[in-house]
Amino acid sequence: MRVILARRAGALAGNSIYMIQGSMECDTMKALVVYYSRSGHTRKVGETIADMLACDKEEIIDTAWRSGPIGFLRSGYQNKKKSFTKIEALKRDVSKYDLVIIGTPVWAGTASVPMRTFVHRHKDDFNNVAFFSVHGGEDIQDEFREMEALCGKKPVCLLSFSQKEVNNQGYVTGAEKFVKDIKNLKGI
């Protein structure tokens, strides 16, 4: 895993952490981890980050059928078309959080359809955002750029893992670094 520190710009690479320097008061920060997971990889990372931050978490529930090979193909097709889907209402109000940490699997090089729907629906409610993703080895540059464009906010931190890293627990060290970077932010 490589760590890259930058100021609001820079190349992203698979299996890397990309931190955008910023600041936030952590002792009073209220954070929410929101994730969508089709296969469980992104859920595993999201729950780990939420546990490390001792913050609230919420899973996006997609009402579309995405199981099996046909669901996989449908998801890829909808993603290429930049479609939206129907998702269940959230239990929490994202506008009440200082930071919303958004996690998505990477589908066909971009954010998943359910996460794109969530971000589009709540973009005006975000105070600050951080992104994380789980990919199958794809180039993740477009996915994070798309998420930033959709929500209209620059993320304070970015994190990406391959499915292989999640499967062999190699993501834990990166998640710890991501959480440490978030806790070290002061006064966004």
pLDDT in tens, 125-167: 999 999 999 988 765 666 788 889 999 999 999 998 888 888 8
Rounded to whole angstroms, the Cα distance separating 69 from 60 reads 21
Q: What is the pLDDT of residue 182?
A: 92
Going by pLDDT thresholds of 50, 70 and 90, the confidence category of residue 63 is confident
Strand boundaries in the chain, DSSP class E: 2-6, 16-20, 31-35, 56-59, 99-107, 110-111, 129-135, 157-162
The pLDDT of 89-102, averaged and rounded, is 95
Neighbours of 171 (CB within 10 A): 27
The confidence score (pLDDT) of residue 139 equals: 58
What pLDDT does 45 receive?
A: 95
114-127 per-position pLDDT tens digit: 999 999 999 999 99
Q: Name the CATH superfamily housing domain 13-184.
A: Flavodoxin domain (3.40.50.360)
CA atoms within 13 A on the CB side of 98: 17
Average pLDDT on 5-20 reads 39
| Contact indicator for 73, 104 with CB cutoff of 8 Å | no
- How confident is the model at residue 68, as a pLDDT? 77
